[in-house]
Amino acid sequence: MENPHPKPYAFMPGQEIHFLTLTVVDWLDVFTRPEFAQTVMDSLTFCTQKKGLNLNAWVMMTNHLHILSSAATGFEMGAIIRDFKKFTSRSILDMLRDKTVNESRARAFLHAFSWQGQRNNRNGDYQFWQQENHAVHAYSRSFTEQKLAYIHDNPVRAGYVDVAWHWRYSSARDYMTALPGLVPVTLLD
C-alpha cells in the first residue's frame, strides 16, 4: 500500500498514528546528561497523562528522539508536540543557564542554541529543537511494525547495546520483557 499522505512531514487529522523524529539543533549530544534525558521522559509522561498523547513507542538517543504515537480524541498531535518541544527546550535551557546541572559543555550548548535561535525568526533568543518534526503517517500495519522495529533497534545499530531492551531510554523493554519502561506506553497489538 502506498502512503496516501498528501503532504510529507505534516500531521494527519484525527487519531492517526505517526512516526516522528525530533532532533536537537546541530545534532548536539545533549541527552548524554541524565538530567536532560529525565526532562524529556517526564514531559513525555506528562503528555500521555494530561495532553492526550497516545505513546506507542519511543527511543531517546544522544541527540534525537523517535516516537510512534497518536493523539487521543479531542486533541491534536501538532499541538501536543509543539507544547512538548516548548517545555523541554525551556527546561533544558534554564538548567544550562542556571548551572543547575554540572555540564562542562553548557557555554558551548548555549552558544549553539543562541546562534540557531537568531537565525530563525520563528524563535526568540534560542532554538533547542530543529523546527521540523519529520512526522510520517503510519499508513499501514506493515509500515507501523517497520517503524516499531526501527525505533527499538536504533541503539543496537548505533553500537550502544547488543540487545534492544538493554537501552534504558526506550520502550523496547515494554515490548520485549515483563519489565515496565521508564515512560508509560500503549502497546500496539
pLDDT digits (tens, 9 = 90+) for 10-48: 677 778 999 999 999 999 999 999 999 999 999 999 999
In sequence order, the 6+-apart residues with CB closer than 8 A to the CB of 100 are: 35, 94
Asked whether residue 147 carries a pLDDT value surpassing 90, the answer given is: yes
Q: Which residue has the higher pLDDT, 10 or 85?
A: 85
**Average pLDDT over every residue of 169-181:** 95
Asked whether residue 183 carries a pLDDT value surpassing 70, the answer given is: yes
Question: Counting beta carbons within 10 angstroms of the beta carbon of residue 35, is it exposed (0 to 12), middle (13 to 18) or buried (19 or more)?
Answer: middle
Of 141, 159, 157, the closest CA to residue 68 belongs to 141
Q: pLDDT band at residue 85, thresholds of 50, 70 and 90?
A: very high
Write down the pLDDT at residue 178.
85
Note the pLDDT tens digit of each residue in 86-139: 999 999 999 999 888 778 899 999 999 999 998 887 777 899 999 888 889 998
Asked whether residue 154 carries a pLDDT value surpassing 60, the answer given is: yes
Q: Which residue has the higher pLDDT, 123 or 145?
A: 145
Residue with cell 530543529: 130
Cell numbers given for 132: 521540523
The verdict on domain 18-176 having CATH code 3.30.2000.20 is no
Return phi, psi of residue 82, to 5°.
-60, -50
Cell numbers given for 160: 550502544
Note the pLDDT tens digit of each residue in 49-74: 999 999 999 999 999 999 999 999 99
Write down the pLDDT at residue 7.
53
In sequence order, the 6+-apart residues with CB closer than 8 A to the CB of 33 are: 101, 103
**Average pLDDT over every residue of 149-157:** 98
Return phi, psi of residue 153, to 5°.
-85, -5
Q: Which residue has the higher pLDDT, 102 or 140?
A: 140
d(CA 74, CA 14): 8
Write down the pLDDT at residue 8.
54
Q: pLDDT band at residue 5, thresholds of 50, 70 and 90?
A: very low
Long-range pairs, 146-153, Cβ under 8 A, ≥24? 147/19, 147/57, 147/68, 148/56, 148/57, 148/68, 148/175, 148/188, 150/66, 151/19, 151/57, 151/58, 151/59, 151/66, 151/67, 151/68, 152/57, 152/59, 152/176
Domains of the chain by residue range: 18-176
Q: Which residue has the higher pLDDT, 179 or 100?
A: 179
